[in-house]
Structure 1
Amino acid sequence: MTVLQHAAESDGPSLAGRLARELRPQFAEPVILVDPSDPVMGGPSCLVAVCDRVGILKGMCSAHRQQWTEAGRPDIAAWAATAPTLRRWLAEPPRCAVASCHRARREAGLCHSHATRWHQAGRPDPERWVAEGGGGPPLPRTAMCRFPECGLDAEGAAELCEHHRSRWTRNGRPPVEAWLADCAMIGLDRFDLRALSMPMRLEVAYAIQRRVDERRTKTRPDQIRRLLRKLPGSGATSLLERSPEDWNAYLGFSSERGSIERRFLLDAIGYLRDLADGGGWDSEYPRDVWLLRRLGYPGRDAVLRFDRIDPLWLRALTKRWARWRLSTGTALATVVADVRAISRFAESFPSLHRGPQALTRELIEAHLAHLAACFPNPKSRTGQIGSLAGLLRAARQHGWEPRLVAQADLYREDYPRLNAGAPRALPESVMAQLECEENLTRFPDPRGRLLVEILMGTGLRVGDGCKLPLDCLVYDGQGAPYLHYVNHKMRRDAFVPIDADLAEEITTQQRAVLAAFPSPAYLLPRATRNLDGKFPFSPGTFRGQLIEWLRLCDIRDELGRPVHVTPHQWRHTFGTRLINNEVPQETVRRLLDHASHQMTAHYARLSDATIRDQWERARKVNIAGQQLATDAGPLAEAVWMKNNLARAKMALPNGYCALPLQQRCEYANACLTCPVFVTTEEFLPQHRRQLQQTRDLIERAEQHGHQRLAEMNRTVETNLLAIIAGLTTCPGDSCGTCSATSCGCTAQPSYDPEINDAV
């Protein structure tokens, strides 16, 4: 039984009756005339100035393009300026030359009756004969010709003037009313549905009306003309009598050919099923496959499938959980993933058909083992486990299924340990290629190129970048520009500063969008199915363009391999660059609009590499003035972490303590006599001041006879002299950190007055 039959036999009005009520007068006619200015059914006008039809080929309507081709394809602009209208013959035909006559001209400039008189008079001079009154009294007036806009008198039973009566006769004398209606539509764009049987005619008209109301997809008569010609020969009276697959097979549609007509047919069937089944939760919730458009979610054919969950009790529980999750604002993609995870769980254990009691802790442990084999990646496995845990937690929290076993639960220990992922920031060598102006100009879509610059310059997520509102630029009191966006993950507005160049590009895009759309909502509107600019650029479309751009520009890494770049890596790169440029982590957190410092710390990991690079470039000496070699080998990273931790916890005013924190210092605060003391050039002023203070102490101790105190300070003085000499003397050829252009050394000991004078 088809949906149409079901609707007809059910209580209430039939589907055909509902269609008739839903159709507005414009679409209830067998022939739907098209206003060329309509954004859905119309389009740009034909280049011929006197033509009102839509220009679909070379800027001309199909009829004028054919005439232009037959004329030898001359210059289009010049030809269009002089081409005649397609409706010229609809004007009033020429009248009889006799002034008192209101009949159509036929022979020698005369109507049939006056031509007969003229012949009977011996065919005298026509001009004088006409001037003398036409050979007799004026002809009696009759009813006016029924042809539209014709003011001549009718002749004969058809009530048409002689001119239009001849045309009607040549067309086979059809019913006059139908013929007049056809004539009135000559030269007008239209959907002619008269060949379709009922109720198919109403169904196609309803689909056209829905397309117009949605204002997303162009639906011109020329686009579905072939479909309308083939439907009558199918023998079907309704589009719902066959499945979409059967229609595609009959019509010969494929993805390569007939895609516009095929899409219209699929949309029409969808509109009819929506009308027959109804929308909203009351009608959709009992179904095992939810059409999300009926629940207010965008997307033509997006669905949420529960039919793969065979245990009926688990299917009902999952549907209730999904509805609750959607009502709380959980992202649709998350709910879809959760339902898929429950479907996979149900497919793995047929024993669940026995009821909720079959869901035991033993079965859950078997499921965990199954997931470990199917999802080696701990992060993917965590998502699968989390979906089942969320369902069980919600069921117990709300009392949805009291028959569940208490021990059937998931615990923290059931989740796999997540490995710390490798840094996702792009290498600077790759970023240099991506930021190259020459490569940016090769991006195929101007919207995509601007989005690339926004993502690289602000660290936005790609979804937030695609949904930037048109008025996304704001300025502070000093005139500095900021990008205003919606952080959809955190569900709040956010601002990020941008430079003047990016602000200028955004301003240019704003002007272009305002010129292209009547009332746009987004800075980067999608190019198709978006007549008013109310829908944003698709992240999926952008990712496809990004892949093609990387291939076109031949972006490669340090090893010469083609690079795969995801939009989110620019966010990691943005945060990493800030951290490595010593921007405070709180500032980075606010720029990235993170909720916690823990997330920002994920971007800060690479800052250690920057500090390590500075540490390795510095010349480090011990208390004897000897330069310390840079740690290398397997323990290099561990040694660096030890030193980095010590610097953070035990920094001294004139150096750093390299003693591990776990050991006790035997030298108390006498660090200058400590063998694990390390210092660098930046502390030279402190060393010189301490050297002078130490000499003053030695002098006073000797004056007062305190030889022990003088002896201890002479050790400090010796170490200070060695340290200063080690920090101010270049080791010449052994210098591994300087060059003739960087440090200016001449491989000779530098002169320090204090040291040389003391020596």
Structure 2
Amino acid sequence: MPAPQRVGEPSLVARIAAELRPEFGGEVIFVDPSDPIMGGPVCKVGECDRIGVLAGMCKAHHLRWVATGRPEAESWASTAPPNIRWLAEPPACKVVGCRRARDDRDLCHTHLLRWRRQGCPDQQAWFADPGGPALRRGGPCRFRGCGLDAEGEAGLCRTHRSRWIGRGRPAIEEYLRDCEIFGRDCFDLRRMPPLMRIEVAYAIQRRVDERRTKTRPDLLHRLLVQLPESGVTSILDRSPAEWTAALGFSTRRGSIERRFLLDAIGYITDLIEGVGWDAEYPRDVWLLRRIGYPGRDTAIRFDGIGPMWLRALTKRWTRWRLSTGIGIATVVADVRAVTLFAQSCPSLQRGPEALTREQIEAHLAHLAVRYPDAKTRTGQIGTLAGLLRAARQHCWEPRIDGGVDIYREDYPRRMLGAPRALSETVMAQLELEDNLARFRDPRGRLIAKILMATGLRVGDACRLPLGCITRDEQGAPYLHYTNHKMRRDAFVPIGVDLAAAVGVQQQSVLAATPSGTCLLPRPTRNPDGHFGFSPATFRGELAEWLRACDVRDELGQPVHVTPHQWRHTFGTRLINNKVPQETVRRLLDHSSHQMTSHYARLSDKTIRDQWEQAVKVNVAGKTVAPNSGPLAEAVWMKNNLARAQMALPNGYCALPIQRSCEYANACLTCPMFVTTAEFLPEHRRQLDATRTLIERAEQHGQQRVAEMNRTVEKNLLSIITTLDQPDSCGSRCASCDCTTTDTQGAGHTDAR
């Protein structure tokens, strides 16, 4: 891509130069090995101050170590000499008062000739009194760190002058600069054109200021050699795609250099085009880094929305939503949904007046074909409804017809999905310590333990602060975290084992990065430990771990596990262990019981077990034992289905599902009738009514009617007597733990 400023190029140079600090303004940028961005671990050789890039050594010492046969590294490094020994000040002439470099016999060249002319007397005495006039003092040698006198026009001492001549007498300034940077880690930008040089220097400075990505000289050496040979004067003279092709970058080769070049282009364009809302809002592609959001290349694109009025409305709506704290991913998805709506309604080009209910209905039809999944389609429709609602609420576009809206009936019906909790067969494998030990990264292992033990969302777990353990007055540990979805702090109790594992991780973080703020810092682009572990990275590690552990379900099939399924499993375990739903809601930090019921669902086994806790009796007042054996579960499912058809007012029918009943609804004389204590009030009312019928029948001489009702009276007395026993749950089932769900009774139909 061409440089944005060709005529005003000097002004671009001036703008960049004004941003550069002195340490980045020279042709050579020297590196402090202790710098977390430009530097790294110092070479193991004690007197070497270069970065240890290979086996803890600088490149020069690593080559020498390999040449000696790779001995034990620590002992070899303790005796190895530094790389810059020849750059030290040369030895001076031993004649008292002489500051010239030695030539031979511990004497400078001039004193050596004088000593030989005098017949080579004893040197020790001669050093003190060489005879003749003292040598004329010259200026200091121009070589950095050399304090000897210069000799000759080059301004160097004899030793450094000899080395300069041996190099072919290059330009003296270039030679001195080469000597200065020899043995030191630095970015050498001398070969670059002036504009390109300050662009690269500015990019290095920005990288250092951001404190995210390692930018060592050895990582960029090849790029800094290739750029001057590219034939351009600015990195903006080519587009990123052109640079990738010209320099031979690929996803596997040159990724570090390519990323630096892309960042450099971004830094310079940001400087030229400006940052902040005033500069970015008018554009049709918003780079989020320019408006204060993290991300290098993340953008919101409005250029796919053809109608200009709709594009302007969407941009205003998007800015407002970002200001209210809506997440980036949600906002980007909303803009895509509006883009799809604009593309499916070409007539909107005529203006806001062209938006009609008919067009919305046509768009709904397109969505039904394109997105069969009701959940996805609901999101698309909800976006359009939100845009129209905000436009009316804030009077952003008064030309839109007030009758154009999205109604509740426009949304597809969503079926309640199957429970997402993992089975206990799978969880037993996931919680096995031997399997957890197979996690490649200790941070990933700790995240998995936290998710299984607390039900946190993976994003909240990855961003836990370093000091996330809180204890109550009894010393019980709690995990203090931020519920980012609800934007509030929350606490969840944890076990002592998990608290101990968190403590070990805290000590590990403090040892690596004393200024760290995250319990689980990301391993890359995070020298200060201020950025949390990436959920995407954890998902990748989780998939790798599942393959390594060969986790399988009840059918022997490999299991696919998502981090969020552990949240469902946590809630389901609690609710099936009789934890009150309000407690489960608070542990999951939900705002409504409806959401908690979506996560925590009772299993059929729990319902069956709770029903068996209730007392069930037949018409004779005898306790009915629950079904057991191989067919127990099948009977349970059959009875669940039958009960769904019709319930009796005072109990349940244990007959199989059928179309006829020989007792003709005379349930209290039917041997298949069963009941529980919850129906005691109805039984007492029926007993009173039955006794009244018996009394009237005897008064009118209806002995057959009285005899039939005495059987009913006898059965009712037996039922009431049994259900009134202290070990039954009585009539308190509405408030106790038992659940009056039948495991034996079947439905009672009108067709019997």
Instruction: Specify the TM-score bucket, using the shorter chain as the normaliser.
Output: 0.7 to 0.9
Give the match for residue 13 of structure 2.
16
Give the match for residue 234 of structure 2.
238
Q: Output the CA distance in 2 between the equivalents of 1:237 and 1:713.
A: 106
Among residues 64, 70, 73, which one is paired with 1:73 in the alignment? 70
Q: Output the CA distance in 1 between the equivalents of 2:158 and 2:229.
A: 38
Q: State the Cα distance separating 1:15 from its structure 2 match.
A: 2.1
**Contact 1:3–1:276, Cα closer than 8 Å, also in 2:** no
Letter in 2 for 1:421: G
Matched, 1:283 2:279: yes
Give the count of matched residue pairs.
681
Change (3 A) 1:153 1:312: same
DSSP 3-state at the match of 1:63: helix
| More displaced 10-residue stretch of structure 1: 480-489 or 180-189 | 180-189
Map 1:211-222; keep pairs closer than 5 Å.
211-222=207-218
Give the match for residue 139 of structure 1.
135
Among residues 450, 453, 477, which one is paired with 1:481 in the alignment? 477
**Contact 1:623–1:722, Cα closer than 8 Å, also in 2:** no
DSSP 3-state at the match of 2:584: helix
Matched, 1:638 2:637: no
Unaligned runs of 5+ in 1: 651-655, 661-669, 684-706, 729-759
Give the match for residue 379 of structure 2.
383
Change (3 A) 1:623 1:24: same
Give the match for residue 439 of structure 1.
435
**Contact 1:622–1:723, Cα closer than 8 Å, also in 2:** no
Q: State the Cα distance separating 1:641 from its structure 2 match.
A: 5.5
Matched, 1:360 2:356: yes
Unaligned runs of 5+ in 2: 655-665, 680-702, 728-752
Aligned CA-pair RMSD: 3.1
Matched, 1:172 2:168: yes
Give the match for residue 658 of structure 1.
652
Q: Output the CA distance in 2 between the equivalents of 1:527 and 1:17.
A: 38
Among residues 153, 157, 160, which one is paired with 2:156 in the alignment? 160
Letter in 2 for 1:44: P
Q: State the Cα distance separating 1:679 from its structure 2 match.
A: 5.7
Change (3 A) 1:346 1:101: same
Matched, 1:678 2:681: no
**Contact 1:3–1:273, Cα closer than 8 Å, also in 2:** no
Letter in 2 for 1:8: G
Q: Output the CA distance in 2 between the equivalents of 1:676 and 1:567.
A: 48
Q: Output the CA distance in 1 between the equivalents of 2:385 and 2:719.
A: 65
Q: Deviations over 1:353-399 (max 9, x none)?
A: 22222221111111111111111111110000111111111112222
DSSP 3-state at the match of 1:35: coil
Q: Output the CA distance in 2 between the equivalents of 1:255 and 1:596.
A: 46
**Contact 1:672–1:719, Cα closer than 8 Å, also in 2:** no
Percent identity between the two aligned chains = 64
Among residues 27, 32, 35, which one is paired with 1:30 in the alignment? 27
Matched, 1:544 2:540: yes
Provide TM-score, normalisation by structure 2.
0.85
Among residues 215, 240, 246, which one is paired with 1:250 in the alignment? 246
Letter in 1 for 2:392: R
Q: State the Cα distance separating 1:490 from its structure 2 match.
A: 1.2
Matched, 1:471 2:474: no
Q: Output the CA distance in 2 between the equivalents of 1:628 and 1:507.
A: 49
Q: State the Cα distance separating 1:516 from its structure 2 match.
A: 1.1
**Contact 2:567–2:599, Cα closer than 8 Å, also in 1:** no
Among residues 236, 250, 268, which one is paired with 1:272 in the alignment? 268
Matched, 1:623 2:622: no
Q: State the Cα distance separating 1:185 from its structure 2 match.
A: 2.3
Give the match for residue 730 of structure 2.
none
Q: State the Cα distance separating 1:168 from its structure 2 match.
A: 1.8
Q: Deviations over 1:589-616 (max 9, x none)?
A: 1111111111112234325541224536
Change (3 A) 1:7 1:608: farther
Give the match for residue 715 of structure 1.
714
Q: State the Cα distance separating 1:161 from its structure 2 match.
A: 1.6
Letter in 2 for 1:75: E
| More displaced 10-residue stretch of structure 1: 212-221 or 161-170 | 161-170
Letter in 2 for 1:636: N
Q: Deviations over 1:397-437 (max 9, x none)?
A: 22212222333221111101110111111111011111111
Q: Output the CA distance in 1 between the equivalents of 2:462 and 2:296.
A: 20
Among residues 421, 424, 428, which one is paired with 2:420 in the alignment? 424
Q: Deviations over 1:632-660 (max 9, x none)?
A: 387533345689x98xxx9xxxxx83379
Among residues 278, 297, 301, which one is paired with 1:301 in the alignment? 297
DSSP 3-state at the match of 2:4: helix
Q: Output the CA distance in 2 between the equivalents of 1:115 and 1:603.
A: 95
**Contact 2:92–2:102, Cα closer than 8 Å, also in 1:** yes
Change (3 A) 1:297 1:714: closer
Change (3 A) 1:613 1:399: same
Change (3 A) 1:634 1:137: closer
Map 1:344-743; keep pairs closer than 5 Å.
344-615=340-611, 620-624=616-620, 625=622, 632=635, 635-639=638-642, 657-658=651-652, 678=674, 715=714, 719=718
Change (3 A) 1:380 1:100: closer
| More displaced 10-residue stretch of structure 1: 477-486 or 516-525 | 516-525
DSSP 3-state at the match of 2:438: coil
The structure whose RCO (Cα within 8 Å, separation 6+) is larger is 2
Change (3 A) 1:677 1:150: same
DSSP 3-state at the match of 1:323: helix
Q: State the Cα distance separating 1:37 from its structure 2 match.
A: 1.1
Q: Output the CA distance in 2 between the equivalents of 1:5 and 1:254.
A: 29
**Contact 2:103–2:109, Cα closer than 8 Å, also in 1:** yes
Give the match for residue 4 of structure 2.
4
Q: Output the CA distance in 1 between the equivalents of 2:671 and 2:559.
A: 48
**Contact 1:274–1:294, Cα closer than 8 Å, also in 2:** yes
**Contact 1:3–1:240, Cα closer than 8 Å, also in 2:** yes
Letter in 2 for 1:657: G
Give the match for residue 745 of structure 2.
none
DSSP 3-state at the match of 1:494: strand
